[in-house]
Amino acid sequence: MSREDEYRAIRHSAALSRMDHVGLLRLMGDEVMEAVDAVCSGDLWVRDSRMLQTLILDDRGQPLADVYVCPDDDACFLLVEGITSEELSALLARHVDPELDAELEDLRPDHELLSVHGPYAWEVLSKWLTPDIIGLPYLSFYRFDRGICFRAGKTGEYGYDLMLRSADAEEVRGELLELVTSLDGAEVSLEALDLCALENGFFSVRHGSVEGLTPMELQLQWRVSTRKRFPGVAAMEQRRARGIGRRLTHFVARDEVKSGDVLRGPEAPVGEVMTAAFSPGVGGVVGTALLDISVAHPGIDEFFASDRDPASPIWTVSSPMLLNRSLLVDPRRHTYATRDGETDPPLWQGSLP
Amino acid sequence: MTTDLSDYVASREAILDQVRRILRDTMKLKIEPQAIDPDAPLFGTGLGMDSVDAVELVIQLDTVFGLQLSGSPEAFLKIRSVNTIVDAIMEMTDES
């Protein structure tokens, strides 16, 4: 299976993947939200059975972990990328009042996470689980006899994460793969999911280095509270008072550009490439660059990667870059079999340098 | 910075500032406009706007900038982030 085939499954039909990189944890007790609130950077305004995206920062204000907080009665599920369950346990021990009634449980030994992404992922889940799944709102979850279905995803397409008992996971994987392949989909790698996340502007702890960068440079201020105390809050307050000199900006390029390449403007260096990857949908390279704040805007066509010979021009663009199929596919009217021109316009509406 | 680039950035920042203020007021956010990241998603995650907020936003964009957005999915694509709104306003200005 080529990366292009994997990409096509995610962007055009449905894709199954194992989410072994995601930590599955549960806090139990009467004061679980107070415990989660103490370590996460965001305001945890989230109801039972809904999900909220937040971060865990280190003392310098840099993201350590990308977290979904999922409260459920007197428990709270945490889907965590970037740190291990042991590291999260250590953070809780350091920052949470030991008197609070909240006990952390690592669900990983007995549970696995499978995901289905794509504009027709809902069709797979409606056949495998229940047609009612079509009505499950984004960032909410649903319990069923074999586990929990989280409606989430970081690809810009419909996305469902299934937390299953390990004993059931292999059988379920086979069932889902059969449904996915019936829609011309495929099983896809984490690299393919990461590419789609990059195209849609989702933060990933695996996209380039965050060394020296806080949520302000990373355009993640919406995940950071201005009302409460949390790890890294002092660094964030200092950064807010001082202002930022650089900001993450998305770009496209026709030719090869790599992480670490210096970007120059007509007169001087303007920043450097953080992450870059070839996008089959764009037909060129997509990426993020850390640009001087004075020029960290989309719509600029004057920069080039100076380390290349010849220098490779880049154009800054707004995020999200793509016209995702999932925005046009309506589960009440469309199916993969009856898809048409209405749901299949070009993913990329722009042009390349 | 060249004159053209400098002019473009100044024009873009002026619109960005206005759009941020509209969003802050529409959603009654108790934050400085600068705390609204230009690429932050407006719906789902990010600012977490709902359909009611969207209607109010569309009215404000029409009132302030004359940007008319129909109810079509294509129109919705223009309001996925602050930056996509600024793109749409600049595109409209360039065309007129």
Amino acid at residue number A217: E
Closest chain A residue to B3, measured at CA: A266
- State yes or no: pLDDT of B95 exceeds 80: no
Closest chain B residue to A45, measured at CA: B48
pLDDT, residue B45, reads 83
- State yes or no: pLDDT of A311 exceeds 80: yes
pLDDT in tens, B37-82: 999 999 888 888 888 888 889 999 999 999 988 767 677 788 999 9
A213 touching B (Cβ < 8 Å)? no
Rounded distance, CA A125 to CA A160, Å? 8
- State yes or no: pLDDT of A339 exceeds 90: no
- Count CA atoms within 13 Å of residue A146 on its CB side: 17
Say if the Cβ atoms of B40 and A222 lie within 8 Å.
yes
Locate the domains of chain A by residue range: 3-196, 245-353
Number of domains into which chain B is organized? 1
Evaluate whether A159 touches A9 at the Cβ level (below 8 Å): no
Burial readout B68-77 (b: 16 or more C-beta within 10 A, e: otherwise): ebeeeeeeeb
Rounded distance, CA B39 to CA A249, Å? 8
Rounded distance, CA A152 to CA A139, Å? 5
Say if the Cβ atoms of A222 and B37 lie within 8 Å.
yes
Q: What is the ipTM of this complex?
A: 0.93
Distance of alpha carbon A269 from its chain centroid, rounded?
30
A308 in helix, strand or coil? coil
Residues of A with Cβ-Cβ distance to B86 under 8 angstroms? 298, 318
Evaluate whether A215 touches A236 at the Cβ level (below 8 Å): yes
pLDDT in tens, A155-176: 999 999 999 999 999 999 999 9
Q: What is the mean pLDDT of residues A24-39?
A: 96
Separation in Å, CA of A171 to nearest CA in chain B: 32
Q: What is the mean pLDDT of residues A221-239?
A: 96
* pLDDT band at A43; cut points 50, 70, 90: very high
Which residues are A163's β-sheet partners?
A113, A148
* pLDDT band at A344; cut points 50, 70, 90: confident
pLDDT in tens, A253-306: 998 899 999 999 988 999 999 999 999 999 999 999 999 999 999 999 999 998
pLDDT, residue B73, reads 67
* CATH number, residue B38: 1.10.1200.10
Least confident of A203-212, A298-307, B13-22: A203-212
Q: Which residue in the set A267, A320, A327 is minimally distant from B73, CB to CB?
A: A327
Residues of A with Cβ-Cβ distance to B44 under 8 angstroms? 138-139
A323 touching B (Cβ < 8 Å)? yes
Closest chain B residue to A300, measured at CA: B5
Which phi-psi region, left, alpha or beta, contains residue B66 (left: φ > 0; alpha: ψ -120 to 50)?
Answer: left
Residues of A with Cβ-Cβ distance to B3 under 8 angstroms? none
Q: What is the mean pLDDT of residues A118-134?
A: 97
The per-residue DSSP string of B11-56 comes to HHHHHHHHHHHHHHHHTT--S-GGGS-TT-BSBSSTT-B-HHHHHH
Q: Is the pTM above the cut of 0.90? A: yes
Q: What is the mean pLDDT of residues A27-37?
A: 95
* pLDDT band at A137; cut points 50, 70, 90: very high
Q: Which residue in the set A139, A267, A294 is minimally distant from B9, CB to CB?
A: A294
Angle (nearest 5°) at CA A61 between A58 and A64: 40
pLDDT, residue A161, reads 98
Residues of A with Cβ-Cβ distance to B12 under 8 angstroms? 297, 299
Rounded distance, CA A350 to CA A252, Å? 10
Non-local CB neighbours of A240 within 8 Å, separated by 6+ positions: A216
Peptide bond between residue A280 and the one before it cis (omega within 30 degrees of 0): no
Closest chain B residue to A249, measured at CA: B39
Domain of residue B34: give its range. 3-95
**CATH architecture for segment(s) A3-196:** 2-Layer Sandwich (3.30)
Closest chain B residue to A298, measured at CA: B83
Say if the Cβ atoms of B31 and A138 lie within 8 Å.
no
Q: Do domains A3-196 and A245-353 have the same CATH topology?
A: no
Q: Which residue in the set A138, A221, A320 is minimally distant from B80, CB to CB?
A: A320
Burial class (CB in 10 A: 0-12, 13-18, 19+), A174: exposed
A53 touching B (Cβ < 8 Å)? yes
- Count CA atoms within 13 Å of residue A117 on its CB side: 27
Evaluate whether A271 touches A257 at the Cβ level (below 8 Å): no
Amino acid at residue number A75: A
Q: Match 């204000």 to its residue by tokens.
A: A61
Separation in Å, CA of B1 to nearest CA in chain A: 7
- Strand A15-18, strand A186-187: pairing: parallel
Domain A245-353, CATH? 2.40.30.110
